[in-house]
């Protein structure tokens, strides 16, 4: 699978809300970080929990890739995610509000799957969108 094809498969899995497909794109020894997680993610169980957490909180979530940089072992994506906060997220009850956040994902690949990753996104913007922080 080429890197651009991988990105298409990855984003299609997220936008189809296919937890199993998203998780299948990670290695069993995956390690990574996400700004919404209190500790590093390790292994497929952590990835599965993270994916489900987003899909429950934002059941209509949709990602749009804005930019891509890649080489043979690394992919960097800038993206925008839209959705409605209709489920609990980070111990915050559903607000019913629409959200739009931007972020960057950096993935290290091994044998065509994600072995390591870092997700950095606008958590403050999300909290503003759901009414927990004031608009600036």
For residue 44, what is the domain's CATH number? Answer: 3.10.450.50
Mean predicted confidence (pLDDT) in 1-23: 92
What integer pLDDT is reported at residue 36 of this predicted model?
A: 87
Q: Is residue 90 part of a domain?
A: yes
Q: Is residue 114 part of a domain?
A: yes
Is residue 43 within 8 A of residue 30, CB to CB? The reply is yes
Q: What's the domain count of the chain?
A: 1
Q: 1: pLDDT confidence band, cut at 50, 70 and 90?
A: low
Domain span at residue 17? 3-129
CA distances from 119 to 1, 94, 102, 109 (A): 22, 23, 11, 15
pLDDT exceeds cutoff 70 at 121: yes
Q: Is residue 119 part of a domain?
A: yes
Q: Is residue 136 part of a domain?
A: no
Q: 72: pLDDT confidence band, cut at 50, 70 and 90?
A: confident
Q: Is residue 134 part of a domain?
A: no
Q: Is residue 135 part of a domain?
A: no
Q: Is residue 86 part of a domain?
A: yes
Mean predicted confidence (pLDDT) in 67-76: 92
What integer pLDDT is reported at residue 114 of this predicted model?
A: 98
Is residue 69 within 8 A of residue 59, CB to CB? The reply is no
What integer pLDDT is reported at residue 4 of this predicted model?
A: 80
């Amino acid at each position: 699978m080429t890197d651009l094809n991988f990105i298409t498969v990855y984003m299609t899995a997220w936008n189809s809300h296919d937890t199993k497909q998203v998780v299948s794109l990670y290695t069993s020894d995956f390690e990574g970080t996400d700004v919404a997680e209190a500790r590093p993610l390790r292994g497929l169980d952590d990835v599965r929990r993270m994916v489900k957490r987003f899909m429950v909180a934002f059941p209509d979530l949709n990602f749009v890739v804005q930019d891509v940089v890649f080489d043979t072992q690394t992919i960097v994506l800038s993206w925008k995610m839209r959705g409605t906060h209709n489920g609990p997220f980070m111990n915050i009850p559903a607000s019913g509000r629409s959200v739009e956040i931007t972020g960057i994902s950096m993935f290290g690949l091994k044998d065509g799957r994600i072995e390591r990753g870092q997700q950095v996104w606008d958590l403050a913007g999300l909290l503003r969108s759901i009414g927990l922080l004031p608009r600036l």
